[in-house]
Amino acid sequence: MRIERERNRNISILRMLKKSFSYRVIRAFLLVLVLVYLLYFGIFQAGYHMLTEEISQSLYTKTSFMINAMEEEIGRIQKLQNECLNDDILYYTIGAFSIMTDSEKTKKLLDIQDRLSILHESSTYIDEVFVYIPAIERRISSMDGVETVGSGEKQTLLDMQEKLAESPLFYDQGAMYLGAASPYSIAGMQNSRMFILVIRLSEEELETELNFLNEYQGSGVKLRDCGGEYELNVGKNLELEGLKITGESLQRMRDRTDHRKYTIFAIHSMPLEMDLFAYIPNRTIYSQLRIYQNIFFGCLTIVVILMACYLYVIYAMISSPIKTLVTNLEQMETGDLNVRIRERREDEFGYVYIAFNRMAESLQNQMEINYKQKLLTQQSQLKYLQSQINPHFLYNSFFSMYRMAKDEDYESIVEFSSYLSEYYRYITKSAENDVELRMETEHAERYARIQEMRFKRRLRVTVEKLPNRYEKLVVPRLILQPLLENAFEHGLNNVEKGGFLHIWYEAKENRLLIHVQDNGAGMDEEKLDEMRRHFAQRGEAVENALYNINSRLKIRFGNAYGIEIESREGQGTLCSLVLPADVPEENVPGERRSDVQGIGCG
């Protein structure tokens, strides 16, 4: 009976533990842990296959580039060789050698050597260039000069002639040669050509080129001809007998010497009749992945132990007040600074709650103060910049009108004064801070025409028409003219003649770009980077019209909009105003919105 009661008691305790919050938290934690293990296993497998694909693609790209580069370079050498083959000096020397004086013979042979030296220096692939002339039994080399051919060497050269008759690319005593023979035979000897021109390719240079593919520990590269006469190895020398390819292939095999598995990419060159192999040990490819795997599981084990202890303390003692605090912090994180903790406690968390409420109230007050200060600063800054521009521009404009009157150019005076009056009517209009884009572009064009008339001997201005669908877009006032002013003042200021300013429009996705391009002085990379850093900032008021326009647009429309700039020193500047392509007017109701957005110029 007692045993039965003890058993029932243990069952009750077990059921109570299963219903407790701590038990549910631990169970959820273990479930999450299992899911993390499964997720990591999936990520590891995906990374394994992705890494295999990346290595394969890298091998493909590099080996393809290497074999193509070799084909192009050897093809180029062949063209130069054929040009040298038809050199008149060779044929003249052979034909007239018997009637030349010794000094003439020496001169002609040295001329031939100079011609071979030029061919030698044309490519790093070339180790030596020589020509063999059977009729005079001379071998002329770019390296060794002119030599008389002995009987033993003569037979070697004749053997080369037979090989190059089969293929211009041939192999002899472990070296690679590129040969060509004269199309003419020696009189009475149909099988013997007047001369042969042979290029010995540099094995050292080929090794240097192939070493570009040998970038991993234990990897290697092999270049071999299809006939098995030539083989060049860099790095690991992997036995590849029986491995045949016709195009491009990715294969895996085990080496018979070290019994390691290798990933091999092979590519065949039809012009060269050669195969190029690049191979990497599998353990090298995946060693870094295994290191991360071991680190992950080690850290995860430690984390499990620590988290188990931590959860026991946290959920037993302070889970409830922490949850309350976190909930309110998350609510504040969303931007709600009106959040307050209403719960009253007489412990340490009570002080934390009071401090939180004070912090929230202080942040709310500070944010309001800073926001208002920023708006007022930007508005005053823009008005200050506008007041700086007007007197100087007005003086220059009246001086231009004075010169037109002095020259009795009345038509220009009428046109100029019309532009000028419309210009000042627009910038002194303070009823609205927001205008239609059509009005802004018309104002900018009037400014550009005024400047064009002032400097008509130095520059010209072209302005494309604003597309009709963008005419009603509502934008802040005076955002385009400062871009033009910047181009005239800094880009075209020192241009004596041939200057131009081009304004055009481009729609990209949901953005409208207004481009202002000049062919003026441009700027260096340091100055361009400095301007781009300023353009990347938001809401900073500085004494620069472009920076303030950029800040106004970012505050108004978001960080995706503002000013973009491209420039090269001495090649002009492209300054682009980036606006949203669809800004409903009802969302920006004139003066009422200006107090909120802080973008007024009036």
* DSSP states along 220-247: EEEEEETTSS-EEEEES----TT---SS
Spatial CA neighbour of 201 closest among 142, 111, 126: 126
When mean pLDDT is compared over 37-41, 251-255, 560-564, the highest value belongs to 560-564
Q: Identify whether the C-beta of residue 578 lies closer than 8 Å to the C-beta of residue 553.
A: yes
Spatial CA neighbour of 208 closest among 66, 61, 56: 66
Two structure tokens written together for 519: 């062919």
Lowest mean pLDDT among 141-145, 267-271, 321-325: 321-325
Q: How confident is the model at residue 362 (pLDDT cuts 50, 70, 90)?
A: confident
- What gap in Å lies between CA 435 and CA 451, rounded to an integer? 23
Q: How confident is the model at residue 8 (pLDDT cuts 50, 70, 90)?
A: low
- What gap in Å lies between CA 360 and CA 520, rounded to an integer? 53
- Angle, in degrees to the nearest 10, between helices 348-406 and 410-427: 160
Q: Identify whether the C-beta of residue 47 lies closer than 8 Å to the C-beta of residue 285.
A: no
Q: How confident is the model at residue 470 (pLDDT cuts 50, 70, 90)?
A: very high
- What gap in Å lies between CA 272 and CA 67, rounded to an integer? 9
Residue 24 is predicted with a pLDDT of 67
Residue 494 is predicted with a pLDDT of 84
Domain containing 98 — which CATH number?
A: 3.30.450
Two structure tokens written together for 371: 């926001």
Residue 314 is predicted with a pLDDT of 63
Residue 256 is predicted with a pLDDT of 53
- Number of helical H runs and strand E runs in the chain: 15, 20
pLDDT of 168 above 80: yes
- Angle, in degrees to the nearest 10, between helices 410-427 and 437-454: 140
Q: What is the DSSP letter of 466?
A: P
pLDDT of 602 above 50: no
Residue 586 is predicted with a pLDDT of 45
Domain containing 537 — which CATH number?
A: 3.30.565.10
Q: 201, 226, 245 — which closes off a domain?
A: 201
Q: How confident is the model at residue 551 (pLDDT cuts 50, 70, 90)?
A: confident
pLDDT of 599 above 50: no
Two structure tokens written together for 594: 């200006």
Q: 156, 173, 201 — which closes off a domain?
A: 201
Lowest mean pLDDT among 211-215, 259-263, 508-512: 259-263
Q: Where are the beta strands (DSSP E) in 509-561?
A: 511-518
Q: 164, 184, 201 — which closes off a domain?
A: 201
Decide if 30 is inside a domain. no
Residue 189 phi/psi, 5° resolution?
A: -135, 90
In the beta sheet, which residues pair with residue 199?
A: 129, 178
- What gap in Å lies between CA 148 and CA 154, rounded to an integer? 10
pLDDT of 372 above 70: no
- What gap in Å lies between CA 57 and CA 54, rounded to an integer? 5
pTM of the predicted protein model: 0.42
Sign for the CA dihedral angle at 559, 560, 561, 567 comes to: positive
pLDDT of 188 above 60: no
pLDDT of 596 above 80: no
Residue 382 is predicted with a pLDDT of 58
Lowest mean pLDDT among 186-190, 192-196, 347-351: 186-190
List strands edge to edge, sheet with 573-580.
459-463, 499-508, 511-518, 573-580, 562-567
In the beta sheet, which residues pair with residue 507?
A: 512
Q: How confident is the model at residue 253 (pLDDT cuts 50, 70, 90)?
A: low
- What gap in Å lies between CA 473 and CA 483, rounded to an integer? 19
Q: Average per-residue pLDDT in the chain?
A: 78
Encode 199-232: b = buried (16+ Cβ within 10 Å), e = exposed: bbbbeeebbebbeebbebebbbbbbbbeeeebeb
Percentage of the chain modeled with pLDDT above 70: 80
Inter-CA distances, 194 with 86, 178, 197, Å:
12, 18, 10
Inter-CA distances, 556 with 71, 126, 562, 596, 598, Å:
58, 66, 10, 10, 9
Two structure tokens written together for 167: 């293929």
pLDDT of 15 above 70: no
Q: How many domains does the chain have?
A: 2
pLDDT of 73 above 80: yes
Decide if 44 is inside a domain. no
Decide if 455 is inside a domain. yes
Lowest mean pLDDT among 201-205, 280-284, 381-385, 506-510: 381-385
**In residues, how long is the chain?**
602
> If you average pLDDT over residues 158-173, what whole number do you get?
80
Lowest mean pLDDT among 27-31, 69-73, 310-314, 381-385: 381-385
Residue with tokens 């039994």: 137
Going by their DSSP bridges, the two strands 499-508 and 459-463 should be labelled as parallel
Compare 173 and 598 and report the one with higher pLDDT.
173
> If you average pLDDT over residues 445-466, what whole number do you get?
90
When mean pLDDT is compared over 63-67, 291-295, 348-352, the highest value belongs to 63-67
Q: How confident is the model at residue 592 (pLDDT cuts 50, 70, 90)?
A: very low
Encode 461-471: b = buried (16+ Cβ within 10 Å), e = exposed: bebeebeeebe
Spatial CA neighbour of 585 closest among 387, 429, 461, 439: 439
pLDDT of 77 above 50: yes
When mean pLDDT is compared over 16-25, 375-384, 479-488, the highest value belongs to 479-488
Amino acid present at 480: L
- Strand, helix or coil at 274? strand
Domain range enclosing 184: 86-201
Decide if 235 is inside a domain. no
DSSP calls for 353-395: HHHHHHHHHHHHHHHHHHHHHHHHHHHHHHHHHHHHHHHHHHH
